[in-house]
Structure 1
Amino acid sequence: LRSQIVANLTNKGYKIPTRIQDEAIPQILKGRDVIGLANAGSGKTAAFLLPIIQKLATQSNRDTVLVITPTRELAQQIQTEFRVFSDKMQLYSTVCVGGLGVRPQIRDLRRKPHIVIGTPGRLKDFLKQRELHLENTTTLVLDEVDQILDMGFLPDVKNIISNIPKNRQSLCFSATITPQIKRLLDEMLVDPVKISVRTSETGNHIAQDIIKAGTPDEKMVELVKMLSQDHFEKVLIFGEMKHSVQKLADKLSKMNFPAVAIHGNKSQPQRQNALAAFKNGKVNILVATGVAARGIDIPNVSHVINFDQPQTHEEYVHRIGRTGRAGRPGQAYTFV
C-alpha cells in the first residue's frame, strides 16, 4: 500500500490486518472479483476500501467506484472510514441516501467524486434524474448483500447494475449466502475468489443467555436490575416497534438510566446525534429497532439486550454481533 495510506492507518492505531483484510486486499489489488463472507466486526470495510484507495491514487484517468449499502447509517460509516484512510490524498467521496436533502447530494455528484456510496432507492432516483453517471464505474461494491435483499432492494440493485459497464471489478460482502444471493452473485461476478472468515454463526467470544420474564412489568424489573450492575458499561437494547423503542428510552432516562433511541421515525440528524452520544459515552444506553443492527460499528459495546425477541435467526445474529467486535468478549441477553 502507498506510504500515505500506511501513515493514515498508523495514525488511527491500525497495526495488524484482520483475517478478511489479509486475504481480500491482495486479491482486490490483483483485480479479481471477490465474495467476502465475514462476521460483523471483522474489518471488512477496510478490506475493500484500502485497495480501492490504492487503485484510485495510482490511476491517471477518472475511473469511479460505486458502493451500495442497505442503510444510510452504514453508507455514512463507510464514508467516514474512506476519509480517514484517504486523508491528504485528494480523493473525494459523496453519500447518496434517503432521509437527507437531495440538493447537497446532487451538488456533490456534479463535482464528479471518485467514490459514490449510497442506498439503492436514492441511487436509482439519481440515475433516473440523470444526476448519477455510471459509465466510468470500474469498481462495484455490494456491502451487506444479505441485508440489501432482506430489505427488498433486489430490483433496484439489478437496475443500477445494468447501468454499469460489464468490464468492471465487483466485490460483494455478506454474512450469509442464500440461494437468492447466490443467483445474484452468479449473474454479476466473473470467476470470483471466495474468502470466508466466518468463525461461527455469532463468534465464539459472545456469551449468550436468556432471561425469563412473563409480563412487561417483570421485563422492566429485570432490565433495571441488569442496568444497575457496574459491568453493564455500554448497552445496546433492541426492541421490535418504533414507538415502544422510544417509550423504553424515555422511561429509562426518567429512572436515572440516561438513554437515547434510534428508529425509523427519527430524522437523519436526530439518529446521527443519538448514535454520536452513545459512541462518545455521553449516554451508555442506546435503544434501537433492527435498523441499527445493519452494519453499524459502535466500538466497545459490552452488552446487547434483546428486550423484544428478533423475528428471525439472521436478525438475532446481526443484533448480537454488535457486541464482541474485533474479537473482544461480549455478552448478549434475550428476554423470553
Structure 2
Amino acid sequence: MERRKPNTKKTTRKSSYKQRDSRWKQSSNRGSSRPSRGRGRGRSGGGGGRRGYTFKSIDIVSFIDKVKKESQTHKVFDIVNAFSDFAFDGRMKNNLKRLGFVTPTPIQDAAMVHIMEGEDVIGLANTGTGKTGAFLLPLISKVLQDQTQRVLIIAPTRELVIQIDDEFKQFAKGTKLHSATIIGGVGSQKQIHNLKRRPHFIIGTPGRLKDLFDRKALKLRFINNIVLDEVDRMLDMGFLPIVKGLINETRDNRQSLFFSATMPSDIKKLAGEFLKNPIVVDRQAGRTAKNVTQEVITVDDATAKFHVLKKILNDAEKTLIFSETKRSVDKLTKQLMNMGVKADCIHGNKSQNRRQKSLTNFKQNKIEVLVATDVAARGLDIKGVDTVVNYTVPQSYDDYVHRIGRTGRANAKGRAITLVTK
C-alpha cells in the first residue's frame, strides 16, 4: 500500500522563513558554504577527495555475493498508465512523443499521480529508472497551469544538476518556461543574473545555493515546490544542516518531494520534519542488474595492477574507472594518456567547464575511458558503458553498487571488475 492512513490531527509545518534552524546558523560560521567534515566520510561537495580518511579493509567478495543475492529478487511492477493518460499540456505531450516516450517507468507511473494531486511524496527508486521525469513532468505541468509557481530542486553534485536541467529543457521545450542552474566550480555572476529573471525552476547544489542565499541573491520565500533528489547521498555527504536551512526558508504551504535510492533513519526524520502526510512510493526493483558480470582480480602490486588494467581496456569499448582520491585519478589518467589511450577524468578539483567537457566527450565517444571519483560520478546516466573498473576498492557497499550500476543499463550486458592488491 502506497498511501498512508490520513492523519486526523492538524499538521503544521516548521516555522516561517524568518526563523532559522540552529544548525543552519552553525553551518554559516566563517561564511563557509561547505558542510562540516565531522559527519559522514569527509567528502566535499565538489567531488571526491579522501584527505584525512582512514581506509578500512573491505571484503569485496561479500559485496559481490550480496549483489548476486539482490539481483535474484528483482520485483516486477505493473504499469497502470500511459503518458497519454496524464493531463499534460499539448506541448509536453508533443515533447514526449518526440523523445519516444510512450509508457512511463514504474516510479513515474506510481509517483506522478500523487504529485499532480499536490501531495507530498517520498519516491524510492534506483538511479536510471526515470525518477527525474517522475518529478519534472508533473511539476512542469503544474507551473504551466499556474506560472506564479516556483520550483527548487536540490541535488548533491554539479553533474547531476546539469543532467536534471538537460531533461527539463527536453520536457519543457516550446513552453517558454526557463530554469537556472546554481552550482559551484563556475563564476556566480551569471547565476545571479539568471536568478534576477525569476526562473520557474531553480536547480542547484546545496553549497552554492546557500552561498547565493547568504548573499541575498536567492529569494527562497517565493519557492512553493521543493525537490530533494538523491537525498541519501546528500545526507551521506554531510549536507543535512544546509538542506534543512534551505527548506526552512521556503513557503510553509509548499509541496515537498523527496527522491532517494534508500530510506535510512535520517531521511525518515527529515521527512517527519518537513513533509505533510507524505505518500511513500517504493519502486525499487533491486539495486543491481542481473546482466552485470562481476569479477575480482588480485594483483601483487601497483605495477601489476596497471598491467592488468591495460589488458582489460584492450577488450572493452567504453570504460568507466573509479579511483578513491583526486590525486590517484589524475595520476592514472596521465598514465593512460601516455600510453596512447583516449582518456580523461572528472573530480572535484576540476573546473565545472572541464568536468562537463570531459563528460560530453565520453558520452559522444570522443574518449574511450573516463576516470572518476565516487562523488563526481554520482547519479550519472551515461549510455553504452560496457565496463566498469574499480581501480581502488570502494569503501562501502553503497559505493560498490553505485559504481557497478553505471554499466548494464537499459538491459545491456555489462562487466564490473575490481582490482585488489595483495
TM bracket, shorter-chain basis: over 0.9
Task: Confirm or deny that 1:331 pairs with 2:415.
Answer: yes
Q: CA deviation at 1:327?
A: 3.7
In structure 2, the residue matched to 1:47 is 134
Q: 2:357 aligns with which of 254, 273, 277?
A: 273
In structure 2, the residue matched to 1:161 is 247
**Counterparts of 1:109 and 1:139, CA distance in 2:** 16
SS at match of 2:327: helix
In structure 2, the residue matched to 1:216 is 302
Q: 1:293 aligns with which of 356, 362, 377?
A: 377
**Counterparts of 2:212 and 2:340, CA distance in 1:** 45
TM-score by length of 2: 0.77
Q: 2:105 aligns with which of 11, 15, 18?
A: 18
Q: CA deviation at 1:54?
A: 0.7
**Cα deviations across residues 301-324 of structure 1 (Å, max 9, x unaligned)?**
111110101111111111111112
In structure 1, the residue matched to 2:207 is 121
SS at match of 2:167: helix
Task: Confirm or deny that 1:241 pairs with 2:241.
Answer: no
**Counterparts of 1:137 and 1:63, CA distance in 2:** 7
**Cα deviations across residues 178-200 of structure 1 (Å, max 9, x unaligned)?**
11121111111111111112122
In structure 1, the residue matched to 2:169 is 83
**Cα deviations across residues 258-293 of structure 1 (Å, max 9, x unaligned)?**
111111121111111111110000011101111233
**Counterparts of 2:149 and 2:269, CA distance in 1:** 28
In structure 2, the residue matched to 1:4 is 91
**Cα deviations across residues 156-195 of structure 1 (Å, max 9, x unaligned)?**
0111111111211111111111111211111111111111
Equivalences, count? 333
**Counterparts of 2:272 and 2:368, CA distance in 1:** 43
**Counterparts of 1:170 and 1:324, CA distance in 2:** 32
Give the gaps of 5 or more residues in structure 2: 1-87
Cα RMSD (Å):
1.3
- Which is higher, the Rg of structure 1 or of structure 2? 2
- Aligned positions of 1:94-243 closer than 5 A: 94-229=180-315, 232-243=316-327
Residues 16-25 or 81-90, more deviating: 16-25
2:254 corresponds to which letter in structure 1?
A: R
2:122 corresponds to which letter in structure 1?
A: I
In structure 2, the residue matched to 1:312 is 396
SS at match of 1:212: strand
Q: Is the 8 A contact 1:43 1:326 kept in 2?
A: no
SS at match of 2:295: strand
Q: Is the 8 A contact 1:293 1:322 kept in 2?
A: no
**Counterparts of 1:236 and 1:57, CA distance in 2:** 39
2:364 corresponds to which letter in structure 1?
A: N
Q: Is the 8 A contact 1:140 1:168 kept in 2?
A: yes
**Cα deviations across residues 225-254 of structure 1 (Å, max 9, x unaligned)?**
11111xx12110000111211121121122
User: Percent of aligned positions with the same letter in both sequences?
Assistant: 48
**Counterparts of 2:419 and 2:302, CA distance in 1:** 10
In structure 2, the residue matched to 1:254 is 338
Higher relative contact order (CA 8 A, sep 6+): 2
SS at match of 1:91: coil
Q: Is the 8 A contact 2:226 2:256 kept in 1?
A: yes
2:291 corresponds to which letter in structure 1?
A: H
In structure 2, the residue matched to 1:264 is 348
1:25 corresponds to which letter in structure 2?
A: M
Task: Confirm or deny that 1:30 pairs with 2:117.
Answer: yes
Residues 195-204 or 86-95, more deviating: 195-204
Q: Is the 8 A contact 1:39 1:203 kept in 2?
A: no
SS at match of 1:89: coil
Give the gaps of 5 or more residues in structure 1: none
**Cα deviations across residues 46-102 of structure 1 (Å, max 9, x unaligned)?**
11101111111111x411000001111111111111011100101010011111111
2:348 corresponds to which letter in structure 1?
A: G
**Counterparts of 1:233 and 1:22, CA distance in 2:** 34
1:291 corresponds to which letter in structure 2?
A: V
SS at match of 2:285: coil
1:117 corresponds to which letter in structure 2?
A: I
Moved over 6 A (4+): none
**Cα deviations across residues 106-151 of structure 1 (Å, max 9, x unaligned)?**
0000000001001111111222222111222121100000111111
Q: CA deviation at 1:43?
A: 1.0
